[in-house]
A = this chain, B = another copy of it.
Amino acid sequence: DSSSVDTLNNAEISRYGRQLIMPEIGMQGQKKIKKSSVLIIGAGGLGSPVSLYLAGAGIGRIGILDFDTVEASNLHRQVIHKESSVGIPKAISAGRAIREFNSLVKVEEHVTAFTTDNALGLVSRYDIIVDATDNVATRYLINDACVLSNKPLVSAAALRMDGQVTVYHHNGGPCYRCLYPSPPPAETVTDCSNGGVLGVVPGIVGCIQALEVIKIAAGTGESMSQKLLLFDGMSPRYTMVKLRPRNKECAVCGDSPSVTGLIDYKSFCGSSYDDKPCTRSIL
């Protein structure tokens, strides 16, 4: 029965055979992957490889959220889109690519911004959340929504030749606010539009992010909870850093949280979370 989420049909067994035969995944792991749902917030440089590889792995239901439309200047890094998608919403373009690539996976396109109004409703509908966005305020919003909904958050970022990956609020580990209780000054924040990025850097980092999602979904391996991967493409260097544990005083995941619902992240960060950061930014 191809509609059952608890079993694998013949098409699935044949399609995922190369994963199934690995002791690290096996039939049980593949069933768990099929039963999992993942919300990918951002269909850009990180969201592109995450979407492709999660679809390839057979994640049962994939939500892809982005408000922007595809631009030609995105394509150097956003490899899930095509030239013919320029002008189309990124979520629609990515959804189409996923369907053409793996029709066994259920895709849900969300052509919307991720806001305090829809965050909790969206996050509650998925098992694992992927932060593939590009600005600070949305990163706090996603973090708080995940902590309040008790969902693991697989987070990554890339700029120029550098990348970072970690897993928040998973296995008792820290959340984004445990590491960064206060937002950075707005003038220190740079995004890919202003700072530039080599396209394959979010590619590397996004693939690593997808691997973390698959391990959590399949219940295999060690996750990057309380670990941070720093990637420097120029050297090239990969450093795995040990992070602090969950902070009992954390405003949102602490023992007596002061943040018990979503707040105004725009004023918290002193910047709009759907605007591009200011052009005089340098870091």
Contact = CB atoms under 8 A, between A and B. Distances in A.
Interface of A: 11, 14-22, 24-25, 49, 52-53, 56-58, 72-73, 75-77, 79, 81-84, 100-103, 160-161, 192-193, 195-201, 203-204, 207-208, 210-212, 214-215, 220-222, 224, 229, 233-238, 240
A222 B234 contact: yes
A83 B101 contact: yes
B233 A18 contact: no
B77 A56 contact: yes
B15 A72 contact: yes
Contacts of A220: 234
Q: Which 8 A-B pairs have the closest CB atoms?
A: A238-B238, A22-B196, A221-B234, A53-B200, A21-B196, A203-B207, A204-B207, A52-B79
Q: How many copies does the complex hold?
A: 2
A201 B210 CA distance: 10
Contacts of A58: 76
Nearest to A192: B18
Contact of A235 (B16, B57, B222): B222
B193 A18 contact: yes
Contact of A24 (B102, B161, B240): B161
Given A18-B197, A199-B19, A201-B211, A79 B101 contact: yes
B83 A56 contact: no
